[in-house]
Chains A and B, each alone.
Chain A
Amino acid sequence: MWSSEVTTMIINGVGETLYMTLLSTGVGYLFGLPMGVMLAVFDKDGLVPNTVAYKALDVIVNIVRSIPFLILLILLIPFTRLVVGQSYGSSATVVPLVVAAIPFIARMVESSIKEVDPGVIEAAKSMGAGTLRIIWKVLLVEARTSLITGATIAIGTILGYSAMAGTIGGGGLGDIAIRYGYYRYQSDIMIVTVVLLVVLVQVFQSAGMVVASRLDKRK
């Protein structure tokens, strides 16, 4: 049963999983990073406290975060069709992945930024730094290590979500695992895909940690 077809399919699966995960994480950060910064900055102890803006973002993030991903996938099908033109396949999966990733990433970024020593922010203010400069040159720089650790966790989570999208024909390793392992009882193929998913998560995790500690100058 282990034909070259299966091998090709699995290799393509790895490619699709990587494509979905990395693209979704990238686009997720494009929106999630500014959102997370805003959450941290608008909070009542933040740089420019703004209760209304904070509450609004907070509610949006909580709503999206509280919808289980599988339901979000289905809920978003009309929207996905509108954007990609179809509701199955790896490109289509990127849409709900991004929607789920943004609030998740925003929370990670928020907590990383809030770890920055308030004393350093005060020092920057005392030197006459404006809000934007403090965000760019102080908050994001000082939180760098924590942000990268957060991104590593985000990639792991999004990779897991991408596999979940396999249940509705999302493409990638998750799709293969469900089609062969669940519908056809070919557990050997399923085991291979699971092992590959584990390896991928491990690789991202280790790489993220190496980068984070390389860039950390606090030691």
Chain B
Amino acid sequence: MSEIVIQNVSKTYETKDGTVHALRHVNLSIEAGDIYGIIGMSGAGKSTLVRCMNFLETPTEGQILIKGESFGSFSEKQLRKQREDIGMIFQHFNLLMQKNVLENVCFPLYIQGKKKREAKERAMELLEIVGLGDRAKTYPAQLSGGQKQRVAIARALASNPKILLCDEATSALDPQTTSSILELLKDINERFHITIVIITHQLSVVREICSHVAIMSDGEVEEQGLVSEIFTHPKSAVAKELIRNDSGSGVENQKVAQEEIRSDEIIRVVFSENSAFEPVIANMILKFQEPVNILKADTKNVGGRAKGEMILGFGKDCKKIREMKAYLEERGLAIEEANEYVEQ
């Protein structure tokens, strides 16, 4: 049975400027133990979706099943009890600024009715897990962003949740801190078998730790599946755009370079790890006696595996494009048209 099932969920808001459709008929199922990424630009509805999972938002339509149970029929009191099973962390950490680290982690334990001493013991254990055992008496204001997020993670784990929701949890952090937080999340997922749902706008986050991903745009799920599959064969326009922007600051330079090169046809090639043994591109050039431009080449970490990614441009008067593509596909490489690299 799936851990979280989202069935035909829609959410609309009435605002002064009319009705806003935050979610439109969303269907998802998340299995126990998954690290599930939900990615999209801001305003795509992903934050609303994650808040529906712990019923901080009530869906206008459709239902949400957690371990097969529907929240919709629950009273406010039962809902609160359920929320203890679902931890949540946030972009801006949302710690109690007037309470020290230990008290912050104790907070959910007091909600569960734990005694002070018992709560403190458990909180110390959790702080050890997130690597902040020596900062128990510190106040959040004296911690760095990464440390604050670690406190928030400890707090979210305090009630022994089955599910951890992460709402843009690394968006306010620098790349290095982001990696260390992601590692911690992965570790938690493996050690405690907690299902993790990650909301983000950064594809790098999804690539690094998620097993599955749903791509959202304008309140709808455009594409969902295994991260490795979508990275290799993106189908929707949104997915392609996300992958194209993944290289970050490199995009600007590419545009300039590509204007100068002026290739006729551009393709994106993804290498899986075993195809790296054979010098495929070099062999292809030798075989067809046609030059190709390498517009970009990169290796990316997709769920802990290295995937090579290359953007190739064929020369203006290249006549063997079709044969060359077939040649690459025969050798197990994934190919897609990528003319938008130049159009942009």
Contacts and interface: CB of A to CB of B under 8 A. Distances in A.
Contact of B108 (A120, A128, A138, A142): A128
A184 interface: no
B56 A144 contact: no
Contact of B96 (A122, A141, A216): A141
B94 A217 contact: no
B92 interface: yes
Interface string A208-219: 000000011111
A164 to B, nearest CB: 36
Given A120-B94, A141-B96, A144-B98, A127 B139 contact: no
Nearest to B97: A218
A123 interface: yes
A129 interface: yes
Contact of A219 (B80, B82, B110, B141): B141
B24 interface: no
Contact of B86 (A120, A122, A124, A126): A126
Interface residues of A, number: 24
Contacts of B139: 217-218
B108 A127 contact: yes
B90 interface: yes
Given A122-B56, A125-B56, A126-B54, A117 B94 contact: yes
Given A127-B107, A128-B111, A137-B107, A218 B83 contact: no
Contact of A127 (B97, B99, B141, B159): B159
A68 interface: no
A119 B159 contact: no
Contact of B90 (A122, A215, A217): A122
B80 A128 contact: yes
Interface string A87-131: 000000000000000000000000000000101101111111110
B88 interface: yes
A133 interface: yes
A142 B95 CA distance: 10
A138 B96 contact: yes
Interface residues of B, number: 29
A129 B86 contact: no
Contacts, number: 74
Contacts of A120: 94-97
Given A127-B159, A128-B83, A119 B92 contact: yes
A133 B96 CA distance: 14
A123 B80 contact: no
B321 to A, nearest CB: 53
Given A117-B94, A144-B98, A126 B83 contact: yes
B84 interface: yes
B81 A128 contact: yes
Contacts of B110: 137
B98 A127 contact: no
A141 B80 contact: no
Contacts of A218: 97-98, 139, 141
A219 B54 CA distance: 33
B18 to A, nearest CB: 19
Contacts of A216: 98
A215 to B, nearest CB: 8
A89 B243 CA distance: 79
Interface in A115-174: 117, 119-120, 122-130, 133, 137-138, 141-142, 144-145
B100 interface: yes
Contacts of B88: 123, 126-127
A104 to B, nearest CB: 25
B57 to A, nearest CB: 11
Given A123-B152, A141-B98, 7 more contacts: A119-B90, A122-B90, A127-B108, A128-B82, A128-B111, A129-B107, A138-B96
14 contacts: A119-B90, A122-B56, A126-B56, A127-B84, A127-B108, A137-B110, A138-B96, A141-B96, A142-B97, A144-B98, A216-B98, A217-B97, A217-B100, A217-B139
Interface of A: 117, 119-120, 122-130, 133, 137-138, 141-142, 144-145, 215-219
Nearest first, the 10 A-B pairs at minimum CB distance are A123-B94, A119-B94, A128-B83, A126-B88, A128-B80, A217-B139, A127-B108, A128-B84, A218-B141, A218-B97
